[in-house]
Amino acid sequence: MGLLENKTALISGAARGIGRAIAEALATEGADLILCDLKAEWLEDTAAAVTALGRKVVCVSADVSNGEQVTAAVKQGVEEFGRIDVLVNNAGITKDGLMMRMSEEDWDAVLSINLKGTFLLTKAVSRIMMKQRSGAIVNIASIIGLIGNAGQCNYAASKAGVIALTKSTAKELAGRNIRVNAIAPGFIESKMTEVLPEAVREKMLDAIPMKRFGLAEDIAKVTAFLAGENSGYITGQVLTVSGGMVM
């Protein structure tokens, strides 16, 4: 029996990368899934993978920075499954650039998706969980929210905000048996890291004691742990998954 048998999980940014890996990990543990992304058609491959694992799935489209769309997406998921036991706030974007050259539009876009989106989904789903008197929320932050990074002041601010939001909501919701935790991934193998010049990759790897980039599956496994009852006495924590880069 899986760790999430008879549970329903909502995952934002589920179309690809870490989001898809999380969807497959939670489905493997027995969860039925509400998959959310900006466009529902982007979710077809993830939905097919989840269905192949024998789980039920519903795909919803929403701009997570839009409160009305978030409310509608959550309502659609509840109408399908009747409950939401796990929320994974994974949707996020980057618009990198040095602070002196960064436009207000790029600042606002990153904060709106990464931080406001996490707030809106947490607010909407926590109302369901409070009625159930149970739930687990996992926010995907970043080590950049802990240590900062030149050229990413908007992204760093958004992820630091996610960490602070995690701790505050954990305190607010603990009395209703709702746990809220965050994961701070380090450098994760992706299409972006694949095309980096070898010298750049080597420099990045030199900063990682384990001498490898992380995989999306590394984040997915920790998410499944925080979503299940094996972490039943853990809340308000930030688990850094960085191969030792940040300790």
The catalytic site residues sit at 155
d(CA 232, CA 247): 24
Sign of CA dihedral 11, 166, 137, 71: negative
Closest CA to 135 of 167, 170, 162, 161: 170
In 63-207 the beta strands, taken as DSSP E runs, fall at 86-89, 135-140, 178-185
Nearest Cα residue to 90 out of 139, 142, 158: 139
Burial 52-80 (b: 16+ CB within 10 A, else e): ebebebbbbbbbbbebebbbebbebbbee
Helix (H, G, I), strand (E, B) or coil at 136: strand
Residue 178's Cα: distance from chain center in Å?
17
C-alpha span between 151 and 173 (Å, rounded): 35
CA torsion angle 60 61 64 70 (round to 10): -60
